[in-house]
């Protein structure tokens, strides 16, 4: 007998035949215990239609995993099996978790810095466009995708989806007690496609843009849907749970208690504790991201400099997934220039947060990347890839140079003058950004007895060139008299251009 | 006997010989009553050196003005005289006062919209550069100048002034009981030069940038100085009193009570009630501009969109005289691009406030416009002049389309979607600004049965072209479904470029 080998954090799946009569989604319970030495994981299975029942596992440890199934259907109860968990293949670093309070890392310790994009309804556009989206993603440098499970009804999003999440009768009425397995098979295929590209799937479970009834299902239907989703998808290592897009636009019919319950269900039923967040619509009146189920803060806000305060307020990673999109539509949330999009990314990331991209250029066929995917038309995505490279060259994620309480920059590189520029550091790696300012010189307060590499970065042209830097014997004439303050030690020639950066690496 | 004719709001001056011995600045009181029919104005005179005493009046009404002097020196007591106040000449509209809560107008009712600039120490640079500054101002379109009485010691401002405000001994020690009349004669000559150019002099009475002792005079010396300044300058109709630049940087040696007293002295001794304001350094922890002596709010703040809140908070005109300067120095307050400077002006003005310009380009001889004057090197001043034209074409000053409480735009032209653009209206004149957004279309909610002129404005290129506008029979496909909301009535083609504006004039 050959042993089945599954790599660590890979996807083990096994299928059984069971009852097809009645309503298996309601009638049949199905789960399994997986054990490996001291470890036991309880995993819910799911009905996949046509009398097929499925159990999936993402093995979290090397070695032999044995399982036993449990069901109220005798054909599915007490079944056993095993597989061997082998070392992960190259590029498989496991699921992403919170690391070092404000940052993320894969399960194997590899740093993960989210540079995501958004194609809310890309899995509902048919294979041709979906394949085009995947081809685009392969060329771009995004490593997270915000995407809705349910199809979307919204301006520029009026097309019917190829598949529906529930069975429908001839009149288009849904039976919300019967999932449509083909819909979910297709969705998880796309999650798997992203996984192959090294892209985390930030799965939006509920959203208000709806004409089919998915947004306004009752509580029990919502809970059943969420459990089904977990049973199907949790074993994909690239899954992040985003409970909602703009949850607050649904409070009228999904009250806060239900959202709390959703977090509880995720915590109880996802054996791997994938990342959990919730996204809101109104920029003020924030969701209480301090709630324990919330692993990181997903934000929609154009005022990205506030990340310094959000870090302090929540003590969790901050991801501003909607700092507004590059585009040219009427709505300001989808109308900023590529330059502004890149600028906000820099401000966000240097201040110790993360950001999400989107693109909303008007299109003759209403194919806007932010919703349908397709191809990128804009200019920001390349610069975001460039920023990603710079951040990945920093060991362990950037922290802001600015102090949230005092507004002062305590780091010696930047000092008290940097209150309108932005600076992020990681150990002795500093990235300073001039934002909307165009200085001809920068003063620095680095210890002169250390040795550094200084590089000038054009954030738009994506060039990195050696900077001209002078050690100062005395402060330059334009320095404020500063009794009691340390004196600047270096002066850097700058090009007098906005949105430049300086990288300082201690040698 | 010929009658002396002085035009209304012109400057009447008469001189007498009096005591020159002792210290006339301390020893001799000198004032006059001027009467014209029912009106009486009490005016303080001042000692101008060499035994000369001077009284000035800005006549506020037509007709015959008679005066009688009062002094503790018999030679100066009980002197009488008269002059005839005639109609103002063309271009003389009288001093500027607050008008219509948030705006300004001259005494004759002519609207005044401040579009000022800043040359703090321009009167201390010697005649050659001062004349150059005036020549520059003649070509530019600024109608207010922020300027310090005292010379300035600051980065890029290390040159000694040609004149000192007080007598000095050979060692450079000031006698703070003896003003230097030549200093003040020169200063008021420059105020008069501005008057000829139609420029209001926003006179900064105290500032902390000092190495001569002017900033740290004691209370009595401060009070005497302020009274002397009022006696000399109040009769210039283009005077505005700005008690300080960055008063809060002087609180250590000029406590709040002293600032309160300054306002009281201005109110008591300026017969014309010229505008009074105070300027602070820290962007947070605002001065209480609700104090009754404060006629309008002078602010230093880069976040210009807050003007909507400031209007609500203070109920007075808001002038952000330092929304940061166009330039390229190390300090962010002097490092924004021309584009950003113009952008902030637009945001400020369309939201019902006013703004001040400054320029801080590094210069081989340290001649930075913001302090010394000279010539303009930047690109924003032309666009500010262009904006001024657009505002002056609006009847009565712009009010923001946005409501400070709700953040909603209640005007039918803009509606609820304009929360990140900016819009200002005056009656049926609307200026809408796309700010950092680059829409291809705008929806409007104007009544369709009226007739309008629609013009597209490029705020940088300074072009005004007819806009392509369609009446809508039904909302465009990208309109949100809006039950209970009025439907958009017009759609405007836009160029997909940031910082565009639309002007709508009802025909």
**Residues in chain B closer than 8 A to A330 (CB atoms):** 417, 439-443, 478
> How many angstroms separate the CA of residue A392 from the nearest CA in chain B?
28
Chain B CB contacts of A440 under 8 Å are: 328-330, 362
**In percent, how much of chain A has pLDDT > 70?**
99
Q: Do B478 and A155 touch (CB under 8 A)?
A: yes
Section A295-316 average pLDDT = 95
Partners of residue A332 in chain B, C-beta under 8 Å: 417, 419-421, 437
* Lowest pLDDT segment from A104-118, B176-190, B282-296: B282-296
Give the model's pLDDT for residue B419.
Answer: 67
* Cross-chain Cβ contact A340/B498 below 8 Å: yes
CB-based contact A362 B332, cutoff 8 Å = no
Contacts A441 to B, Cβ<8 Å = 329-330, 362
What confidence score (pLDDT) does residue B395 get? 81
Q: Buried (b) or exposed (e) across A432-458, using 16+ Cβ within 10 A?
A: bbbbbbbbbbbbbbbeeeeebebbbbb
| Domain regions of chain B by residue span | 5-86, 113-392, 409-506
Given the structure tokens 């530019």, which residue do they identify?
A: B140
| A416, pLDDT greater than 70 | no
Measure in Å the smallest separation between the Cα of A16 and chain B Cα atoms. Answer: 46
Tell me the per-residue pLDDT of B21-31, one tens digit each, with 9 for 90 and over: 999 999 999 99
Q: Quote the minimal CA–CA distance from A482 to chain B in Å.
A: 12
Distance from CA of B138 to the nearest CA of A (A): 28
**A479–B439 C-beta distance less than 8 A:** no
What mean pLDDT is predicted for residues A62-86? Answer: 98
Specify the pLDDT at position B374. Answer: 98
What is d(CA A23, CA A73) in angstroms, rounded to the nearest whole number? 13
Q: Look up the CATH number of domain A106-392.
A: 3.20.20.80
Indicate the burial class of B253 (C-beta count within 10 angstroms; 0-12, 13-18, 19 or more).
Answer: exposed
Tell me how close the Cα of A380 comes to any Cα of chain B, in angstroms.
14
* Among candidates B302, B420, B440 on the partner chain, residue whose Cβ is nearest the Cβ of A420: B302
Chain B residue with the nearest C-alpha to that of A407: B284
Among chain B residues, CA nearest to A443: B330
CATH superfamily of A5-86: Immunoglobulins (2.60.40.10)
Name the more confident of A128 and A1: A128
Cβ contact B438–A477 (<8 Å): no
User: Among all residues of chain B, which has the CA nearest to that of A210?
Assistant: B481
Q: Confirm whether A5-86 and A401-506 share one CATH topology.
A: yes
Averaged pLDDT, A343-369: 97
Give the residue from A466, A392, A387, A449 showing the smallest Cα distance to A422: A387
Q: Which residue in B211, B160, B99, B286 sits closest to A481, CA to CA? A: B211
Sign of the torsion formed by the C-alpha atoms of A129, A135, A140 and A142: positive
Whether A1 has a pLDDT exceeding 60, the answer reads no
> What is the distance in angstroms between the Cα of B297 and the nearest Cα belonging to chain A?
23
User: Which range has the worst mean pLDDT, A444-458, B41-55, B232-246?
Assistant: A444-458
Residues of chain B above pLDDT 70, percent: 99
- The mean pLDDT value for A170-197 works out to 97
Residues A371-384 have pLDDT tens digits of 999 999 999 999 99
List of chain A residues whose C-beta atoms are within 8 Å of the C-beta of residue B439? 328-330, 335
Q: Is residue A414's pLDDT more than 80?
A: no
Average pLDDT over residues A82-108: 97
Contacts of B329 in chain A (CB under 8 A): 439-441, 478
pLDDT for res B418: 59
pLDDT on residue B285: 79
Kindly list the residues from chain B whose CB atom is less than 8 angstroms away from the CB atom of residue A366.
477
Q: Which of B332, B366, B438 sits opposite A420 (nearest CB)?
A: B332
Architecture per CATH, domain A401-506, reads as Sandwich (2.60)
Q: What is the pLDDT of residue B415?
A: 67
Q: In this structure, are residues B456 and B445 in contact, taking their beta carbons and an 8 Å threshold?
A: no
The whole-chain average pLDDT of chain A stands at 95
Task: Provide the 3-class DSSP secondary structure of residue B50.
Answer: coil
Contacts of B437 in chain A (CB under 8 A): 332, 335-337
How far apart CA B321 and CA B323 sit, in angstroms, is 6
Give residue A293's pLDDT band: very low, low, confident or very high (50, 70, 90): very high
What is the CB neighbour count within 10 angstroms for residue A163?
A: 17
DSSP structural state of residue B488: P
Residues of B in contact with A436 (CB under 8 A): 336-337, 340
Mutate to test the interface with A, among B328, B333, B380 (most CBs of A within 10 A): B328
Per-residue pLDDT, A407: 72
Summary mean pLDDT of chain B: 95
Give this prediction's pTM: 0.95
Option in B362, B421, B441 nearest A332 (CB): B421
Please check the confidence at residue A404 and state whether its pLDDT lies above 80: no
Residue A74: both structure tokens together? 């005798």
Quick one: pLDDT at residue B122?
98
List chain B residues with CB under 8 Å of A443.
330
Q: How far is A119 from chain B (nearest CA, A)?
A: 17
Nearest C-alpha of chain A: how many angstroms from B250? Answer: 16
CB contact under 8 A, A330 and B442: yes
Q: Residues of B with CB below 8 A from A475's CB?
A: none
* pLDDT of amino acid A199: 98
Decide if pLDDT at A417 tops 90. no
Put simply, the answer to whether B437 touches A156 (Cβ < 8 Å) is no
CB neighbourhood size of A91 (10 A):
8
Q: How far apart are the first and last CA of chain A?
A: 57
Structure tokens at A84: 């061997």
Percentage of the residues of chain A whose pLDDT score is greater than 90: 87
- With an 8 Å Cβ cutoff, are A438 and B330 in contact? no
Span of A279-293, A324-338, B348-362 with lowest mean pLDDT:
A279-293
Is residue B412 pLDDT above 80, yes or no?
A: no
Residues of B in contact with A327 (CB under 8 A): 438
Closest residue in A to B329 (Cα–Cα): A439
A496 contacts in chain B (CB < 8 Å): 328
Say if the Cβ atoms of A496 and B328 lie within 8 Å.
Answer: yes
Interface A–B counts its CB contacts (< 8 A) at 93
* A385 phi, psi to nearest 5 deg: -60, -40
Q: What is the pLDDT of residues A39-61, one digit of tens each?
A: 999 999 999 999 999 999 999 99
Cα–Cα nearest to A318, from A308, A327, A331, A330 = A308
Give yes or no for a contact between A178 and A169, defined as CB atoms under 8 angstroms apart.
Answer: no
pLDDT of residue A418: 59
Contact check, Cβ <8 Å, A340/B439: no
Read off the DSSP letter of residue B128.
Answer: H
- Per CATH, the architecture of B113-392 is what? Alpha-Beta Barrel (3.20)
Nearest Cα residue in chain B from A480: B155
The phi, psi pair for A22, rounded to 5°, reads: 65, -140
Q: How far is B339 from chain A (nearest CA, A)?
A: 10
Q: Say how far residue B109 (Cα) sits from the centre of its chain.
A: 17
């Amino acid at each position: 007998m050959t042993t089945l080998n599954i790599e660590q954090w890979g996807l083990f799946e096994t299928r059984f035949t069971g009852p097809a009569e009645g309503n298996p989604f309601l009638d049949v319970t199905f789960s399994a215990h997986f054990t490996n030495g001291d470890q036991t994981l309880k995993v819910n299975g799911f009905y996949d239609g046509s009398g097929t029942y499925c159990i999936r596992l993402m093995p979290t440890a090397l070695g032999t995993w044995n399982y036993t199934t449990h069901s109220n259907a005798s054909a599915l109860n007490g079944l056993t099996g095993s597989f061997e968990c082998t070392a992960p293949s190259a590029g498989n670093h496991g699921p992403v978790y919170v690391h070092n309070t404000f940052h993320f890392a894969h399960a194997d310790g590899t740093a993960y810095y989210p540079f995501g994009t958004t194609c809310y309804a890309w899995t509902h556009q048919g294979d041709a466009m979906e394949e085009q989206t995947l081809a685009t993603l392969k060329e771009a440098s995004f490593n997270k995708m915000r995407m809705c499970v349910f199809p979307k009804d919204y301006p520029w999003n009026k097309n019917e989806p190829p598949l529906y999440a529930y069975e429908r009768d001839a009149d288009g009425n849904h039976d919300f007690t019967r999932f449509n397995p083909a819909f979910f098979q297709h969705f998880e295929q796309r999650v798997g496609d992203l996984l192959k590209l090294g892209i985390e799937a930030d799965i939006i479970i509920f959203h208000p843009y709806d004409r089919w009834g998915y947004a306004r299902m009752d509580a029990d239907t919502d809970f059943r849907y969420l459990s089904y989703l977990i049973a199907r998808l949790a074993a994909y290592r690239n899954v992040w749970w985003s409970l909602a897009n703009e949850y607050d636009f649904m409070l009228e019919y999904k009250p806060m208690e239900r959202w709390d319950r959703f977090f509880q269900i995720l915590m109880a039923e996802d054996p791997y504790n994938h990342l959990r967040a919730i996204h809101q619509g109104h920029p003020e009146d924030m969701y209480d991201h301090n709630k324990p189920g919330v692993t990181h803060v997903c934000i929609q806000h154009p005022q990205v400099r506030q990340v310094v305060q959000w870090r302090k307020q929540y003590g969790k990673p901050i991801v501003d997934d909607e700092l507004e999109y590059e585009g040219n539509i009427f709505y300001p949330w989808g109308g900023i220039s590529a330059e502004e999009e890149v600028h906000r990314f820099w401000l966000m990331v240097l201040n110790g947060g993360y950001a999400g991209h989107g693109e909303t250029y008007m299109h003759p066929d209403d194919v806007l990347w932010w919703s349908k995917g397709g191809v990128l038309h804009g200019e920001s995505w390349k610069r975001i890839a460039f920023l990603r490279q710079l951040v990945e060259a920093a060991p362990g994620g950037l922290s802001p140079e600015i102090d949230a309480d005092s507004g002062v920059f305590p780091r010696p590189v930047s000092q008290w003058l940097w209150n309108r520029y932005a600076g992020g550091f990681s150990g002795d790696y500093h990235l300073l950004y001039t934002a909307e300012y165009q200085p001809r010189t920068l003063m620095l307060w680095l210890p002169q007895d250390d040795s550094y590499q200084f590089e000038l970065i054009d954030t738009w042209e994506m060039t990195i060139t050696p900077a001209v830097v002078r050690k100062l014997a005395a402060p330059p004439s334009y320095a404020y008299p500063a009794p009691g303050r340390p004196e600047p030690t270096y002066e850097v020639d700058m090009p007098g251009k906005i949105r430049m950066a300086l990288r300082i690496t201690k040698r």
